Structure 1
Amino acid sequence: MKKLFALLLLPSFAFAQEVVIKGKFSGDTKGNNKVYIYGTNVKNDSAVMVDGNFEFKLPFEKPFLPLFYTEYDRNVKRMYSPFPVLVEQPGEIILSEGDITKGMGSFTVSGLKSAAEYNELRQQQTAVYKKVNDQIAAKFGPTWYDKKNPKSAEINEEREKLTAAEISGVLHAFIKSHPDSYASSLALSSARSTLKTEDMEKLYKLLSPKAKQTEEAKNVADYLNGLKNSAIGSTVKDFTLTTPDEQLFSFSSLKGKYVMIDFWASWCGPCKQSFPHMKEVYAKYKSDKFEIYSISIDKDKAAWLKGLKEQDLPWLQTLDTRNISQSGFAVTGVPTTFLIDPKGKILMKEVGFEPGGNSPLEKKLVELFGAK
């Protein structure tokens, strides 16, 4: 029996999976030989280059996107851009032909197919941003990016319009030629706040049935549904989420009240900055006719609970464990607020929360309840 027990334990070790990321830089590091890694669900770590070579071994549970930068960029160039490497499955990823003076963006990526494809797409997107910035600089001058520029609003609007059109073209060509690629699903999901709705729908249709089963593609589908569900004048579909004390709370229980739904997260600085004034708004208007309802998009429940304790928020709180922020409201950033009427109809949406009391949403509250 002891021998049999030992044999039964073996498979649990055999199924341990990892990804190995190997890289090689050329050039003089000037003694700055570390490469750093970080990211969501990635342990902060570093590797020391030996003759330009470095290596990371990471456990694999599900697809993730570790970010890298070098000690050289931090200390010599005094700036760096995070370099993402797409890890879709266990295996080996090779970063080659890197020039330390040009940074990690100079790497050629090979090994796992999806990692190479994602890097190919990133290079195309980087070229788009440069092209658009050059066009903006040619029209508005070399200091177009200065926030004090009197045409700043006009510049940003045109830049966003040009970027959306160019990125849409790049993604269309890439997804059409890589319909099965995890890189296509990830890139489309990441572009939600950039693309027009009609472009998102066309690009989503280009994904293969296999790609549509990825978490990222499902998020895109939820987002597209959310855009329809959260249109001004639409009626909110009932949903149920969990409160801090593990109770189920249904939105329909607020029927008969005006409700300000506030999407936030414990890691969101602007959200925290909005809360002092939001508390003032709550103190003014809380009644049997008005309620604030905050929904956290945190992925980490402990971080959410800690954030709630720190912020001491006196209104309704739940955690979005069902992706309601996407499927119901198409939220692309936090804080985002919605004003809902007593019948559940969406009256207004605001990205951000104006602390000065001059936002359209707060003016609407004055219109509904009078100045207080």
Structure 2
Amino acid sequence: MKKIIILILCIFQVSPILAQKTYEIKGRFTSIKAATITLAYKDQQGVEDSVHTTDGSFSFSGTVSRPVKGMLMVKTLQPGAYPGFSLEYVELYVEPGKTSVNGPAPATATINGGEAQADFNLLNQQLKPAKVKMDQLLAKYNKATAERDSLALHAIMDQATVINNERSKLEEDFISAHPASYVSWDLLKQHSTIIDPVTFEPLFSKMAKQFRESEEGREMAEQLALSRKTAVGQQAMDFEQMDVNGKKVTLSSLKGRYVLLDFWASWCGPCRAENPNVLKAYNKFKDKHLEILAVSLDQNKANWLSAIEKDAMPWIHVSDLKGWKNEVAAQYGIRSIPQNLLIGPDGRIIAKNLRGSALEKKLSEILE
């Protein structure tokens, strides 16, 4: 059974029709018996193709215009257990030509295909040590969460930041070494959600012309240009938005104080997890010329107000309740949350995206 899901693109214009080339993906998961195996990917549209297997074997074929990152998902029924099934998956590149996927299960499968898959295999090999560290840390996180050990959780979050930074550096090195790879381009798109022009611009400039001059590349160039306006050392752009009582608040009205401009939302789990760190820093430095101006990407006012109360956040909150279309978020090029900017009394940006203990450490350097 094949079902094609048309994804309506709200931001991008429809891409021109590109030449389609045939792919074939075959394999077997030897530890899998009766199951549904689904191939999902997005080329010019989203595609899902499913097969039912009784011995773990599967075969998919179709056409793509270029190598695209996809996912093989294995759904096995487990009657009597919640939620009634197990789901395993493995990522791969769907590209013209033949690809083989073989092994006991998705996580341990060996995947051989074209040039993009070879690049992806190399990347995963280079990232494996960081993944092992993060998996070990996740086990500690789950234990600390079950035991409600807040001190351990704070330490774990700091360790996670270090590992994520290590991973990002490995990914940047891979992009730099493989500027003509579709894998590198997909990585760069991931990194474009939060752009630091100092590290991002050299990578973007080094990418092959076919990527830089594509529709995605032109949009990325626009995001890069906007990121330069919000780089450390730049003057923070003024704005006006309504607070919880419908009163206009401007960033310029807070000039003369240190301001943490914080982008968040009630529905954002990582944002809510970070709020206790922000509250701790606020309570420590609120009498030393620190103010927090939180911009919410909520759409539902009741949920927004409830989260403010539940997380006990006594600082200034504003929102236009337009979700991802929040005008201040668009002005600052915010494409993922949480994000923050620390602004000095003169209105210049002095730091960005301070998480966990890094926020309190930076404020201590400045205010103590």
Please name the residue that 1:103 is paired with. Answer: 106
Please name the residue that 2:293 is paired with. Answer: 292
* Residue identity matched to 1:83: E
User: After superposition, where does 1:169-180 map in structure 2 within 5 Å?
Assistant: 169-175=173-179, 177-178=180-181
* Residue identity matched to 1:103: P
Aligned-pair RMSD on alpha carbons?
5.9
Structure 2 unaligned blocks of 5 or more: 1-16, 141-151, 310-315
Which whole-Å CA distance do the structure 1 matches of 2:195 and 2:349 have between them? Answer: 23
SS at match of 1:292: strand
Please name the residue that 1:11 is paired with. Answer: none
User: After superposition, where does 1:1-372 map in structure 2 within 5 Å?
Assistant: 23-26=25-28, 28-36=30-38, 47-49=51-53, 52-53=57-58, 55=60, 66-71=70-75, 80=88, 82-85=90-93, 96-103=99-106, 106-109=110-113, 118-130=116-128, 166-175=170-179, 177-178=180-181, 183-191=183-191, 200-214=200-214, 216-218=216-218, 220-221=220-221, 224-225=224-225, 228-238=228-238, 254=253, 256=255, 258=257, 259-275=259-275, 281=282, 290=291, 292-296=293-297, 308=304, 310-312=306-308, 315-318=317-320, 319-321=323-325, 328=332, 334-341=337-344, 343-352=346-355, 359-360=360-361
SS at match of 1:236: coil
Which whole-Å CA distance do the structure 1 matches of 2:62 and 2:118 have between them? Answer: 23
1:87-146 deviation digits (Å, cap 9, x = unpaired): xxxxx867732214152753345xxxxxx5543332120121247789x9xxxxxx9999
Which whole-Å CA distance do the structure 2 matches of 1:363 and 1:166 have between them? Answer: 31
Distance 1:95 1:228, change over 3 A: same
Asked if the contact 1:97/1:107 (under 8 Å) is kept, the reply is yes
* Residue identity matched to 2:117: N
Asked if the contact 1:334/1:351 (under 8 Å) is kept, the reply is no
TM-score, normalisation: structure 1: 0.55
Which whole-Å CA distance do the structure 1 matches of 2:306 and 2:157 have between them? Answer: 35
Structure 1 unaligned blocks of 5 or more: 1-14, 87-91, 110-115, 137-142, 368-372
- Pairwise CA distance, 1:347: 3.9
1:352-371 deviation digits (Å, cap 9, x = unpaired): 356xx98246658987xxxx
* Residue identity matched to 2:188: L
Please name the residue that 2:11 is paired with. Answer: none
SS at match of 1:260: strand
- Pairwise CA distance, 1:46: 5.6
TM-score, normalisation: structure 2: 0.56
Asked if the contact 2:90/2:106 (under 8 Å) is kept, the reply is no
Distance 1:97 1:224, change over 3 A: same
Distance 1:327 1:312, change over 3 A: closer
1:227-278 deviation digits (Å, cap 9, x = unpaired): 64444442113467x8799x9x896564646443112245532312344776
* Residue identity matched to 1:35: I
Q: Which has the higher strand share?
A: 2
Which whole-Å CA distance do the structure 2 matches of 1:310 and 1:55 have between them? Answer: 47
Distance 1:254 1:222, change over 3 A: farther
Distance 1:125 1:263, change over 3 A: same
Paired residues, number: 309
SS at match of 2:178: helix
Which whole-Å CA distance do the structure 2 matches of 1:197 and 1:42 have between them? Answer: 31
Asked if the contact 1:226/1:326 (under 8 Å) is kept, the reply is no
Please name the residue that 1:5 is paired with. Answer: none
- Pairwise CA distance, 1:328: 4.0
- Pairwise CA distance, 1:83: 1.3
% of aligned pairs identical?
A: 14
Which whole-Å CA distance do the structure 1 matches of 2:292 and 2:212 have between them? Answer: 38
